[in-house]
Chains A and B, each alone.
Chain A
Amino acid sequence: MNALRFAWRSLVRQPARATLGVLGVAAVGALLLDMLLLSQGLVVSMRDLLERSGWDIRVSASELPGRGGRVSSATRTAERIAALPSVKAALLVRIANADIERSNGSPITAVFQGVSGRSTRAEPITPPWTVVRGRDARGPGEVVIDTAIASAANLEIGSTITLRANCVGDREALPPARLSVVGIADFPFAGTNEDAMGGSLDALKAACGGNVGDEADLLLVTSATEPNQTAAAIRAAVPHLYALTNADVVGRLQQTGFTYFRQISTVLTTVTVSFAVLLITVLLTVSVNQRLGEIAALRALGFSRSRVVADVLSESSLIVGLGGLLSLPLGVLLAAGLDRILKGMPGIPAELHFFVFERTALALHVGLLAATAVIAALYPMRIVSTLPIAATLRDEVIG
């Protein structure tokens, strides 16, 4: 009988403790997997989201788009950028807060994105939303809204909405504007708890009563060549603005906003692995100590030292291996729950995920659990390898 089968029989003989050991490893393993997914998940997800948007470069007045002032002389700036040879198209984005009035109930607060495109090559310009029903908004009197607004305000395509916009400060007292809903759209960068609507820059200006000036929160640029070269060309053309490629944005976010999750993931990974090593060591040590007589008898019957050591290692591997296998579905379920909790943060895009499955994370998970199985078995392996056969058997008989 090989060491693995022998270890299996040892575990089956004590089903309660073996089951609890495996379940404990499964719970710890699930947490470990989630922490590994968390360490890079947000970055991977953000990169994916930025690349899916179809825009290669973001031009803004501050280091991180959306955190700081606005781009002044936005129309002229957009035209200058669009005229660069390496630029396919540029989209000027202005954001305002809007309260959509409802016939019954309190107003719905939404983020209103007004866009205006520039292209010198007749390239198609895509807005930062995807129309799922109806058509895209054109002109000053039309908007598209997200499904949450449509359902909360009982709006359909063709309905008219009345909104009050806050375009410059936090709160303004502008007169209400009436706009027609022509489509229902997905806004990938809208936050989980955030309702969004979009339209042309003219529509936003109409809602703001013209109180927006020639300023933009952001300029989105599609590059005809390598994005880094285009970003450099934009920086040369408009040196007072920041031009960041998708990779730059992810890099900046990694250095600032996402650091906390990487740190917490590192701390919890360390704690989780240490916890697992400690507990499996104790489980195996107590188990081995209870079977010292039995192990000494096996040695006396001819089992070699390396064979009994292999038995202990196999037992550890079985507990950790079975627990590790169980930890995968448990980890996925737990990740979904934790992701839901974290996405409650204000300003986090609904399509951004904190826990993203990656093969490297799975490989690291397997590697760390394998190391746990070996390290946890070291001390009990030492006990059985240095076990004095005759003295142990004598103690067993006298005891």
Chain B
Amino acid sequence: MILRQLVLMLAVTVASAAHAQESPPDILISRQLANERGLSVGSIVQLATDAAGTGARRFRIAGIYEPTPDPARLGAVPREVRMHLPDLLDVTRTPGVPAGTEYIANINVALADPKDAAAFSRDVNARMPGVIARPSGEAAGSAGPFRVLERFHLAIAIVTIVASTVFLLALTIMLVDERRETVGILRLIGLPARRVLMQVFIEGVIVAGAGAAFGLVLALLSEGLINAFFQWRYDTALIFVRITRDVALTSAGIAIPLGASATVLASWALLRRSGLRLVRR
């Protein structure tokens, strides 16, 4: 199909099929463009490079496609047309430029063995001065904005964790204080501080584990809702939230030790006191 830039903002007007002298060339249009203009497969349309319709040419819609989700174009409605390269050049060729002298921006090459990409690029660069060949993996530079967003979300997550930790400490201090007498009695009947601390620690792990599991279930339930909302809002098939195994493990890996540590930390001061002081006698 097309090797060059495929996205064109072209004036589209439906032409009467009755006037067709010969079968016009086929094109594909994006779902969003089809919905917006009420176009369907088989419609005959005219495409031109300006709104005045200068040099318009007729095409037949052979299919409607869902554009590949592109995070870089979030918010922009993809009104796209895909056509064969010769047809594109015919439409976009400026007057006075002979056919066959146009230039194209990129040629995508599929190799028999993808591992040869670097060697192939070096070979092309050496043999064809003026042409730059790069393995497609190097195009990862375009993911820059998303790496920045990742860092931004990480920073927000850190602030949220700090706030949660502070609140968690306040809560555990209150909860431990509430159990002062129980701990005092356990100490008076002979349980060593280390034994009580172990009990508190296990309790903390269980509570933190249950909290982390609840949080993960909540995240899994909201994942679908968030994706559905943003996919509707931006009319895209992009996935905005994905709870992966690594994300779940990281969350649990932070939440459980944090919860257990907060419980132990809050209990530590209490356990250093004598049993009699704890039961206030």
Interface string of B75-95 (1 = CB under 8 A from A): 110000000000000000010
Binding stretch for chain B, among A125-133, A165-173, A223-231, A356-364: A165-173
CA distance A16 to B171 in the complex (A): 11
- Name the residue of chain A whose CB is nearest to the CB of B163: A27
- In the complex, the answer to whether A256 meets B169 with C-beta atoms within 8 Å is no
**B175 cross-chain contacts in A, Cβ below 8 A:** 286
CB-CB contacts below 8 Å: B115-161 with A: 129-130, 132, 144-145, 148-149, 151-152, 155-156, 159-160
B167 close to A (CB within 8 Å): yes
- Name the residue of chain A whose CB is nearest to the CB of B54: A240
Interface string of B101-121 (1 = CB under 8 A from A): 001011000000000000000
B174 CB contact (under 8 Å) in A17, A72, A337, A342: A17
With contact pairs A27-B159, A62-B9, A275-B163 given, residues A16 and B173 touching in the complex (Cβ less than 8 Å): yes
**A240 cross-chain contacts in B, Cβ below 8 A:** 50-52
Interface string of A150-176 (1 = CB under 8 A from B): 000000000000000000111111000
With contact pairs A20-B170, A27-B166, A283-B171 given, residues A256 and B75 touching in the complex (Cβ less than 8 Å): yes
CA distance A260 to B234 in the complex (A): 10
- In the complex, the answer to whether B105 meets A338 with C-beta atoms within 8 Å is no
With contact pairs A23-B166, A286-B175, A346-B144 given, residues A171 and B151 touching in the complex (Cβ less than 8 Å): no
**B226 cross-chain contacts in A, Cβ below 8 A:** 267
**A345 cross-chain contacts in B, Cβ below 8 A:** 144-145, 148-149
**B151 cross-chain contacts in A, Cβ below 8 A:** 341, 344
B152 CB contact (under 8 Å) in A20, A30, A259, A342: A342
A31 close to B (CB within 8 Å): yes
Shortest beta-carbon distance from B189 to chain A in Å: 20
**A346 cross-chain contacts in B, Cβ below 8 A:** 144-145
- In the complex, the answer to whether B144 meets A283 with C-beta atoms within 8 Å is no
CB-CB contacts below 8 Å: A359-388 with B: none
CA distance A372 to B230 in the complex (A): 27
Interface size on B, residues (CB 8 A): 41
Interface string of A321-346 (1 = CB under 8 A from B): 00000000000001001100110111
- Name the residue of chain B whose CB is nearest to the CB of A67: B76
CA distance A283 to B177 in the complex (A): 13
**B9 cross-chain contacts in A, Cβ below 8 A:** 62-63, 68
CA distance A239 to B226 in the complex (A): 42
- Name the residue of chain A whose CB is nearest to the CB of B134: A171
Bin chain A's interface residue count.
Answer: 35 or more
Interface string of A346-358 (1 = CB under 8 A from B): 1000000000000
**B162 cross-chain contacts in A, Cβ below 8 A:** 27
B74 CB contact (under 8 Å) in A62, A259, A337, A341: A259
CA distance A308 to B132 in the complex (A): 78
**B94 cross-chain contacts in A, Cβ below 8 A:** 72
CB-CB contacts below 8 Å: B56-82 with A: 74-76
- In the complex, the answer to whether A337 meets B156 with C-beta atoms within 8 Å is no
**B164 cross-chain contacts in A, Cβ below 8 A:** 275
A268 CB contact (under 8 Å) in B145, B156, B174: B156
Shortest beta-carbon distance from B182 to chain A in Å: 12
Q: Interface on chain A toward B: helix, strand, loop, or mixed SS?
A: helix
With contact pairs A287-B174, A341-B148, A342-B148 given, residues A31 and B166 touching in the complex (Cβ less than 8 Å): no
CA distance A27 to B51 in the complex (A): 53
A103 close to B (CB within 8 Å): no
**A338 cross-chain contacts in B, Cβ below 8 A:** 152, 155-156
B75 CB contact (under 8 Å) in A24, A259, A287: A259
**B76 cross-chain contacts in A, Cβ below 8 A:** 256
Shortest beta-carbon distance from B122 to chain A in Å: 15
**A256 cross-chain contacts in B, Cβ below 8 A:** 74-76
With contact pairs A30-B159, A169-B105, A337-B155 given, residues A20 and B178 touching in the complex (Cβ less than 8 Å): no
A290 CB contact (under 8 Å) in B51, B129, B145, B178: B178
**B171 cross-chain contacts in A, Cβ below 8 A:** 279, 282-283, 286
CA distance A259 to B234 in the complex (A): 9
A257 close to B (CB within 8 Å): yes
- Name the residue of chain B whose CB is nearest to the CB of A347: B145
With contact pairs A20-B169, A256-B75 given, residues A31 and B52 touching in the complex (Cβ less than 8 Å): no
**A27 cross-chain contacts in B, Cβ below 8 A:** 159, 162-163, 166
Shortest beta-carbon distance from B257 to chain A in Å: 19
**B174 cross-chain contacts in A, Cβ below 8 A:** 17, 283, 286-287, 290
CA distance A263 to B236 in the complex (A): 15
A28 close to B (CB within 8 Å): yes
A306 close to B (CB within 8 Å): no
B233 close to A (CB within 8 Å): yes
Shortest beta-carbon distance from A240 to chain B in Å: 5
CA distance A168 to B50 in the complex (A): 21
CA distance A140 to B71 in the complex (A): 40
- In the complex, the answer to whether A170 meets B132 with C-beta atoms within 8 Å is yes
With contact pairs A256-B76, A345-B148 given, residues A31 and B159 touching in the complex (Cβ less than 8 Å): yes
CB-CB contacts below 8 Å: A52-69 with B: 62-63, 68
| Given contact pairs A168-B103, A346-B145, a sample of 4 additional A-B residue pairs in the complex whose CB atoms are under 8 Å apart | A17-B173, A31-B156, A283-B174, A338-B156
11 A–B contact pairs at CB < 8 A?
A27-B166, A30-B159, A63-B9, A255-B75, A275-B163, A275-B164, A279-B167, A282-B171, A286-B178, A290-B178, A344-B144
Give 5 closest A-B pairs by Cβ, nearest first.
Answer: A20-B170, A27-B163, A24-B166, A171-B132, A24-B167
